[in-house]
């Protein structure tokens, strides 16, 4: 997944016609209003929508497959350890639901991914999704769950309910509540209210650990609204407090969060090297790169969100660190802001644009980020960066729907 992507000289333009998508559609009529003070790119709506459609078309062409059975769609994770991973299916469901107003195929794609997900339940909780499938569409590597995938699957179902209602082939609201309740049962530590890494993470090493990119306040807010379960409000508050604590104690000058957090049963702190995935587990790396997007999405859609000041810290730092030049954003940082690598990747650049939307004084910076993001040449093997970029562009272009 660590690769350098080349830049093209001009801003993104739409090549219409892929998979029957119509070009140049205006912002979705059901899109959520952003809170006062939120800024958006200065480019015209047509330019913003064209950039979104370019990446969406590319994502559909290169990462969707129907090979896994009649009536199914699945998102290929070409740059992951396995052909299909849970977060990719979750991203696919969210993207399809959010693109309902622009793509006549979006509903079929959503239902096809949902069918694939339901065909691959976790061995630990049948209402969760087995996290990995091989090239033959068979669940592998223990057939247990990954929290980030299940969180996104449930969130996508709530968006689908808002967009299409729940009277069709699937009752999206009931499906969402089913998954949300399973997440609470098997992926939330009931003692600490922190998200676990998956339904497998119950042993002494992992039970009090978490992934900062699973700390999605907007998702927890939506889950509480959908279920009426106040526990989700307490879960959101617990994670909001941990973000502030980690920023204060370990990243006072940057606001950056680590990929993995330990000691969630006492005072949370960054994980050590090689805790789960590699030497940068306690740094701002390939998981935490999503944090500005997740925190920023809640900050711009929920009045009074605790994420507002948290993500503003990150925005202030990255704008200063780069001198306002997005081309200087690299693939990873220590929590104090030192560069880990010199490569560039859209999953690090794009989320900072959502953070920039929270600061009325960052218009020029946001415009540069938009140009940079839409000038990346999409990589047909990079499902991760492409999927994140599509979702960021949905937010930037005003097409986001917060359930």
Q: How far apart are alpha carbons 65 and 67 in whole angstroms?
A: 6
H or E element at residue 34: none
Task: Kindly list the distances between the CA atom of residue 259 and the CA atoms of 47, 130, 256, 287, 315, in Å, as whole numbers in the listed order.
Answer: 34, 22, 10, 5, 18
**Proportion of the chain in helix, strand, coil states, percent, rounded to 5:** 45, 5, 50
Indicate the DSSP class of residue 190: T
H or E element at residue 210: strand 210-211
Q: How far apart are alpha carbons 342 and 22 in whole angstroms?
A: 38
Q: How far apart are alpha carbons 342 and 330 in whole angstroms?
A: 5
Rg (CA), the chain: 19
Residue 323 neighbours by CB distance under 10 Å: 7
**143-155 b/e with 16+ CB inside 10 Å = b?**
bbbbbbbbbbbbb
Residue 328 neighbours by CB distance under 10 Å: 13
Q: How far apart are alpha carbons 75 and 152 in whole angstroms?
A: 14
Q: How far apart are alpha carbons 208 and 204 in whole angstroms?
A: 8
Interstrand relation of 260-262 and 210-211 (parallel, antiparallel or unpaired): antiparallel
Residue 130 neighbours by CB distance under 10 Å: 26
Supply the residues annotated as catalytic. 87, 148
Q: How far apart are alpha carbons 149 and 88 in whole angstroms?
A: 7
Q: DSSP for 90-107, please give it.
A: HHHHHHHHHTTTT-TTHH
Cβ neighbourhood burial of 266 (10 Å; 0-12, 13-18, 19+): exposed
């Amino acid at each position: 997944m660590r690769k350098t992507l080349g830049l093209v000289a001009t801003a993104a333009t739409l090549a219409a016609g892929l998979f029957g998508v119509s070009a140049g559609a205006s912002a979705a009529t059901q899109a959520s209003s952003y809170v006062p003070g939120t800024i958006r790119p200065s480019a015209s709506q047509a330019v913003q929508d064209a950039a979104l459609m370019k990446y969406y078309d590319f994502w559909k062409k290169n990462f969707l497959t129907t090979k896994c059975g009649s009536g199914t769609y699945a998102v290929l994770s070409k740059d992951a350890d396995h052909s299909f991973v849970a977060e990719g299916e979750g991203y696919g469901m969210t993207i399809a639901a959010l693109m309902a107003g622009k793509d006549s195929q979006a509903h079929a794609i959503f239902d096809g991914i949902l069918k694939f997900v339901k065909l691959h339940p976790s061995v630990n909780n049948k209402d969760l999704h087995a996290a990995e499938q091989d090239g033959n569409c068979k669940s592998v590597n223990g057939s247990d769950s990954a929290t980030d995938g299940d969180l996104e699957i449930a969130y996508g179902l709530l968006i689908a309910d808002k967009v299409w209602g729940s009277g069709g082939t699937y009752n999206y609201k009931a499906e969402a509540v089913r998954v949300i309740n399973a997440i609470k049962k098997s992926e939330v530590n009931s003692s600490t209210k922190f998200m676990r890494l998956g339904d497998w993470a119950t042993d002494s090493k992992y039970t009090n650990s978490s992934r900062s990119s699973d700390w999605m306040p907007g998702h927890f807010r939506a889950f509480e609204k959908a279920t009426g379960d106040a526990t989700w409000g307490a879960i959101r508050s617990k994670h909001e407090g941990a973000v502030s604590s980690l920023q204060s104690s370990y990243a006072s000058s940057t606001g950056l969060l680590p990929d993995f957090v330990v000691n969630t049963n006492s005072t949370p702190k960054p994980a050590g090297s090689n805790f789960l995935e590699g030497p940068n587990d306690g740094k701002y790396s390939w998981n935490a790169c999503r944090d500005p997007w997740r925190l920023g999405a809640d900050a711009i859609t929920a009045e009074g969100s605790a994420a507002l000041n948290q993500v503003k810290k990150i925005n202030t730092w990255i704008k200063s660190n780069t001198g306002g030049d997005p081309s200087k954003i690299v693939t990873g940082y220590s929590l104090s802001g030192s560069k880990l690598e010199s490569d560039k990747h859209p999953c690090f650049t794009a989320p900072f644009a959502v953070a920039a939307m929270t600061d009325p004084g960052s218009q020029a910076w946001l415009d540069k980020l938009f140009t940079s993001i839409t000038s990346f040449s999409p990589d047909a093997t990079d499902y991760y960066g492409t999927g994140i970029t599509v979702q960021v562009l949905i937010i930037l272009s005003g097409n986001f729907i917060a359930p």
